Amino acid sequence: MAMSGGVDSSVAAGLLVEDGHEVVGATMKLWGGASDSGCCSAADVRDARRVCDQLGVEHHVFNFTTEFTASVVDPYVADHAAGRTPNPCVECNRHLKFGALLERAARLGFAAVATGHHARVERSPGTGRPRLRRGADVAKDQSYVLAALTSAELDRVLLPVGALTKAEVRAFAERRGLATAAKPDSQDVCFVASRAPGGGPSSGRRSFLEDRMELHPGRVLDAATGESLGEVPAVELVTVGQRRGLPAGGGRRRFAVAIDTAARTVVVGDEYDLLAGEVVLSARTWVGDPLPVGARCTVQASAHGRPVAATSLADRVRFDRPSRRVAPGQLVACYLGDEVVGSGVAC
Amino acid sequence: MRPDPATAPDRPSAYLDHAASTPMRPEAVEAMLPYLAGTFANPSGAHGPSRSARRALDAAREELASVVGCEPDEVVFTSGGTEADNLAVLGAHAGRPGPVLASAVEHRAVLAPVRAVGGTVVPVDARGVVDLDAARELATGARRDGGAVTLASLMAVNSETGVVQPVDRFCEAVRAVDGDTLVHCDAAQALAWLDVSAATSRCDLVTLSAHKFGGPKGTGALVVRGRAARVLRPVTYGGGQERELRPGTQNVAGAVAMAVAARLAAAERDATLRRVAALRDRLADGLADAVGALEPAPRALRVAGSCHLRFPGVVGEELVLLADREGVSTSTGSACASGAREPSHVLVAMGWDEASAAEAVRISLGATTTAAEVEHALGVVVRAVRQLRLGAAPAR
């Protein structure tokens, strides 16, 4: 049972114990750097250990810092350097929780790894193959960050709280008196402080990246006229679709529509300049069988983004109606109804 | 649900993490009990109960001094090995600011304060033995640059590999460069296995830690000899206890128990050594034969309780966990605050890459280790290594 020290994984462990599973709690130490949130602080480890004590199960701390740096942090920095918008939670799930941890669990003789994600793993009635569905609590659904998993991993994954609403999770924790019952939900990227000391919003990301790469000022160009509208302090920190922090042109709301870190330019346009008819995907994955070319599906391009109707093609998905452009580097999850069928990374 | 090993006394178990801590000797437990509730008074007071406590503290100091070969006045009781190490390094540096040296394989209780005062690390060879030539060169370089080395620190026994360090030749090497250099020896791991008076007779400062030889946690001592007493400054301030080097009301019960444990450990040392070495050989040879366990450092260089091994193709952290589930307590590297394992700085200093270092497991035997424990551990570790090498175990 992967224990972050939060309420969801605490309750997930409690549910497994109630179901009679032999449970061992494991907190993954992923990051040694300074961060004001996330799942690696000594306080979170203590919380996880206390909950395990309350439930009467063993607790261990696993050091996966090397793997985390190589599979999550380094690509996160490289993506920013290339002007892409990485999704470290997706990579952490793919390479750490359902990668290194799943492999370790298998070596140690455990049948499955459980996490506190709000999503559901169910078996197909006929084939017995695992399927990934949205969590019962639509507002807390985390199937998106699990969308890059395949049936090979999901076969050995348990998501005990996926059938519960967040309110039910909290109620269970309070009923059992779990130490984490009232703990707030974690947010943000766990290894990046949300704010640098004395800084404003997103200053944490800036200072984290500044320590690991060179940031360059960029020229801001008008999408329609090509004329220069001003500068941004760091082209690497701009995301496609971003509005804040960009020079306004003619008093209109302007959005970043394209970023070129090599040329150090950010092209800004109006909201309709952000619309795209499709998104080309690399690194596509399928939970089970691939969708046939031309199949209808819905796609979601961020953790709590609105799913839009689309058609799945060989190397892309085409939106039924022009939709907000997906920032390169973002994961695109494909759904049939509330079931995840696959994913890809926006090019 | 599986019962917790700690609450299932009937399950076979083997505690093989004596380098981390040893069980208290019953004699030491018994010796300290009167000073917890009965003779509880502050030993610095002016009344009868205080005098009783004072007498016990003085007797403990004398007893410990006779075991480690120093004068009673030279024993400064501390809250343990870490505090003693910090007092040695920071206290010497405060008294005479200047370059500080320590071997790269010291315990972090030495390395961290050495780094805090901008000190330099002396490399070790592939066996983990300090490089004496490098020590001499670093000391010479410091002197040439205008500041003779204030303090040079070398442990008696490495806490991970069990390797015995050449403390006497280290003293010669650094003092040949500058006779005023103080030498500190962290002997926290040593007293159960070696005659510490060998270190006390040559070094200016010696760290002792009670819970490594059957004494209580939270009790240790720094032996402060001759010249060191004139140089050393306290790192905490308060009352004048412990020659003003370590203020604070003394832990009388702890000191009493520490002295008893030290006396018994020293008296029984030769017999213990022979018995434990045979058990260690049985375990190390058995694991080498059955699963190809390697010994990172030659056995001849190591203390009798040390069974530090590398299991190629196995993540040490996973082996420790599987062994623990069968009641066998072992360890890898050193633990950080959260309880996660860190790559061993000792093995890295010996030239190991991170992946190889992750394959090491520290199994450490002690005076209470039995043949039954060793046989149980042998079976458990062999099974665990084979399972882990198979990779994915069959799904249940």
What span, in angstroms and rounded, lies between the C-alpha atoms of B339 and B358? 16
Name which of B315, B343, B393 is nearest A109 (Cβ-Cβ).
Answer: B393
Q: Are residues B288 and B348 in the same domain?
A: yes
Q: Do B391 and A106 touch (CB under 8 A)?
A: yes
pLDDT of residue A191: 83
pLDDT tens digits for range B341-355: 677 899 999 999 988
A231 pLDDT above the threshold of 50: yes
Alpha-carbon Rg of chain B, whole angstroms?
Answer: 22
Collect all residues of chain A within an 8 Å Cβ-Cβ radius of residue B318.
104, 107-108
Q: Are residues B283 and B224 in the same domain?
A: no
Mean pLDDT of A256-263: 93
Number of separate domains in chain B: 2
User: Domain containing B120: what range?
Assistant: 26-267
pLDDT of residue B217: 97
Collect all residues of chain B within an 8 Å Cβ-Cβ radius of residue A22.
1-2
A135 pLDDT above the threshold of 50: yes
Interface residue B339 vs chain A (CB under 8 A): yes
Interface residue B356 vs chain A (CB under 8 A): no
Q: Are residues B210 and B94 in the same domain?
A: yes
Q: Mean pLDDT, chain A, as a whole number?
A: 91
Mean pLDDT of A278-300: 96
| Domain end residue (candidates: B227, B252, B267) | B267
Q: Show the domains of chain A with their CATH numbers.
A: 7-175 (3.40.50.620), 215-269 (2.30.30), 275-346 (2.40.30.10)
Q: Are residues B99 and B163 in the same domain?
A: yes
Question: Of A39, A40, A89, A190, which one is the catalytic site residue?
Answer: A190
Q: Which of A39, A69, A108, A155 to mutate to test the interface with B (most CBs of B within 10 A)?
A: A108
The closest alpha carbon to B24, from B263, B221, B194, B217, belongs to B217
- Cβ-in-10-Å burial (0-12, 13-18, 19+) of B66 comes to middle
B109 pLDDT above the threshold of 50: yes
A111 pLDDT above the threshold of 90: yes
> Distance from B332 to chain A by nearest Cα, in Å?
12
A35 pLDDT above the threshold of 90: no
- Cβ-in-10-Å burial (0-12, 13-18, 19+) of B26 comes to exposed
List own/partner pairs for B367-372 with CB under 8 A and 24 or more apart.
B367/B18, B367/B22, B367/B192, B367/B213, B367/B214, B367/B265, B367/B268, B367/B272, B367/B276, B368/B15, B368/B22, B368/B23, B369/B14, B369/B15, B369/B16, B369/B18, B369/B276, B369/B279, B369/B305, B370/B279, B371/B279, B371/B282, B372/B12
Active site residue A92: yes
The interface pTM score, or ipTM, of the predicted complex is: 0.82
Mean pLDDT of A21-32: 91
Q: Are residues B263 and B274 in the same domain?
A: no
CB B191 within 8 A of CB B22: no
Q: Are residues B296 and B383 in the same domain?
A: yes
pLDDT tens digits for range B81-90: 999 999 999 9
Q: Are residues B130 and B203 in the same domain?
A: yes
| Domain end residue (candidates: B224, B248, B267) | B267
Residue A254 CB contacts under 8 Å (≥ 6 apart), including other chains: A229, A243, A246, A247, A248, A268, A269, A270
B393 pLDDT above the threshold of 80: no
Element spanning B291, H or E = helix B269-291
pLDDT of residue A199: 73
φ, ψ for residue B224, nearest 5 deg:
-115, 110
pLDDT of residue B2: 47
Q: Point out which residues pair with A225 in neighbouring strands.
A: none
Mean pLDDT of B226-234: 94
> Distance from B46 to chain A by nearest Cα, in Å?
44
pLDDT tens digits for range A165-211: 999 999 999 999 999 999 888 766 788 877 777 777 678 888 899 99
Mean pLDDT of B121-130: 98
Mean pLDDT of A330-345: 96
Active site residue A347: no
pLDDT of residue B395: 40
pLDDT of residue B341: 63
Alpha carbon distances (Å) from B333 to A137, B9, B302, B349, B354: 43, 28, 17, 13, 12
B200 pLDDT above the threshold of 50: yes
